[in-house]
Amino acid sequence: MEEILSLRQENSKTFDIGKGKKRLDIFMGAVHYKGDYTNSNEAWKDIDLAWEGNRITKAPYELTLDSQKLTVKNKKTSEVSTIELLSSKPVGLKWEIIPEHTRISFRHILPPDKIPFEAKFKVTGKIPFGTRAFDNDGELLLGATLVDGILTEKLSSIVGKETGIIRPAKGDIRIDPTWQVGTGTDDCQRKLDPATFWDLTYSRFIAGRYGVGNAKIGAGARFTNITIPKNSSILSAYLRLICYQSMDGVTPKTRISAEQVDDAPTFADDKDVFDARWANRTAQVDWDDIEIWTYFNAYNSPDIKTVIQAIIDRAGWVSGNDIVIFWEDFEGRSVGDQDSRFAHAYELGVEVAPQLIITYTPLTPAVWDFFTWG
């Protein structure tokens, strides 16, 4: 497939796949950057995370590594943050910097036999950051505190973050504070039964049911700047999700739909507003009896072309509008304790966040031939 560079956007790529068909890949965040974000005429460039000496500049940020100190500048806002490793135990652990499209992680690599772990960092600035620990089976419970600009991370045992259960480690453990350059409110997590739960910054994108107290779970994702002309024919569409944590249930029953509006706004921090938006949805596509997922593998939803077509055909649709997709089991059709699927959310990086892939044929205006009769 050949990318159509003139249709490139910050968060999407459009490809010509022949016979008048196009494929639009929409990401939840930047896959392109500009050197000068104030210049509307500058073309979007592919992000390149290769180090140039001790710097990375071909991204939405500038990154500089000086010994054990990392400096991050957000190109859009000019905000600058720093993180400096002060100490880590046990001594001699491998550490590395992991640059991603809109995130930078300062990561320690910990063999399971080296627990307990502790690291201290000095941090400055306003660019948001978070901490996490994970192995090959998913995220672990990590102790973290920030006092007077000193970030302390501690890991004393292997406990699954979602389950709270002690378990053996699978592979090396990765522990990192991560700077998020370009945060947003374009995905969210909701649970309805028995106690409600709502979060705009959750790192997991979940649907289904897992155990007592965790049922009727779903999520929303907003995909922006959908450059599909009104009344185009949608040939196929699907969500691509990256597994965050494996669940063994084989009968999760979920559904996918879209908010029935012309141009969907981002999510407000209000669960009641979200519930009302979900109630105003398109016809749904069932995604039932989902196969067992393996950590970090990618999985595609069933075809949701009818969901996307319903929005593109709306009277007020304009190319460049935004779409909200719901993936959920708010009606409680899943009944098993492992009947859920965990995917990565945007908070864990553009590369692993939900992605929407649409193949379409643009609307071709009717052409009338006029003949002059002599």
Residues 166, 255 within the same domain: no
Residues 353, 219 within the same domain: yes
Residues 92, 169 within the same domain: yes
In the chain, what's the furthest Cα-to-Cα distance?
Answer: 95
Q: Which residues of 127-160 are buried (b: 16+ CB within 10 A; e: fewer)?
A: bebbbbbbbebbbbbbebeeeeeebbbbbeebeb
Helix locations, 183-222, DSSP H: none
Query: Do the domain assignments include residue 366?
Result: no
Residue 213 backbone class (left: φ over 0; alpha: ψ -120 to 50; beta: rest): left
Predicted confidence at residue 183, as pLDDT, reads: 63
DSSP 283-325: --EEEESPPPP-TT-EEEPPP-HHHHHHHHTSTT--TTEEEEE
Nearest to 285 by CA among 261, 315, 310: 310
Tokens representing 85? Answer: 């490793």
pTM for the whole thing?
0.89
Query: Do the domain assignments include residue 368?
Result: no
DSSP SS3 for 45 = strand
Residues 22, 61 within the same domain: no
Residues 274, 152 within the same domain: no
Residues 228, 134 within the same domain: no
Nearest to 150 by CA among 106, 80, 72, 87: 87
Q: How many domains does the chain have?
A: 2
Query: Do the domain assignments include residue 148?
Result: yes
End-of-domain residue from the set 180, 210, 235 = 180
Run of H or E residues at 272:
helix 271-279
Burial of 41 (0-12, 13-18, 19+ CB in 10 A): exposed
Query: Do the domain assignments include residue 373?
Result: no
Cβ neighbours of residue 18 closer than 8 Å, sequence gap 6 or more: none
Query: Do the domain assignments include residue 372?
Result: no
Residue labelled with tokens 């006029």: 370
Query: Do the domain assignments include residue 116?
Result: yes
pLDDT tens for the 374 residues of the chain, in order: 899 999 999 999 999 999 999 999 999 999 999 999 999 999 999 999 999 999 999 999 999 999 999 999 999 999 999 999 999 999 999 999 999 999 999 999 999 999 999 999 999 998 888 899 999 888 899 999 999 999 999 999 999 887 788 999 999 999 999 998 866 789 999 999 988 999 998 888 999 998 878 999 999 999 999 999 999 999 999 999 999 887 888 889 999 999 999 999 999 999 999 999 999 999 999 999 999 999 899 999 999 999 999 999 999 999 999 999 999 999 999 999 889 999 999 988 899 999 999 999 998 654 434 343 43
Dist. CA 63–CA 96, nearest whole Å: 14
User: What are the C-alpha distances in Å from 362 to residues 8, 191, 237, 285?
Assistant: 16, 38, 15, 23
Which CATH number is 151's domain given? Answer: 2.60.40
Query: Do the domain assignments include residue 135?
Result: yes
Nearest to 27 by CA among 13, 16, 41: 13
C-alpha 284: how far from chain center: 22
Query: Do the domain assignments include residue 275?
Result: yes
Residues 202, 349 within the same domain: yes
Dist. CA 338–CA 322, nearest whole Å: 33
- Whether residue 341 contacts residue 208, with contact meaning beta carbons closer than 8 Å, is answered with yes
Residues 230, 342 within the same domain: yes
User: What are the C-alpha distances in Å from 241 to residues 33, 245, 264, 330?
Assistant: 24, 12, 21, 19
Residues 111, 65 within the same domain: yes
Instruction: Give the residue numbers spanning the domain of 170.
Output: 45-180
Predicted confidence at residue 364, as pLDDT, reads: 66
Tell me phi and psi for residue 154, to 5 degrees.
-135, 135
End-of-domain residue from the set 130, 154, 180 = 180
Predicted confidence at residue 363, as pLDDT, reads: 82
Predicted confidence at residue 25, as pLDDT, reads: 98
To the nearest 10°, the Cα dihedral for 311, 317, 322, 326? -20
End-of-domain residue from the set 157, 180, 203 = 180
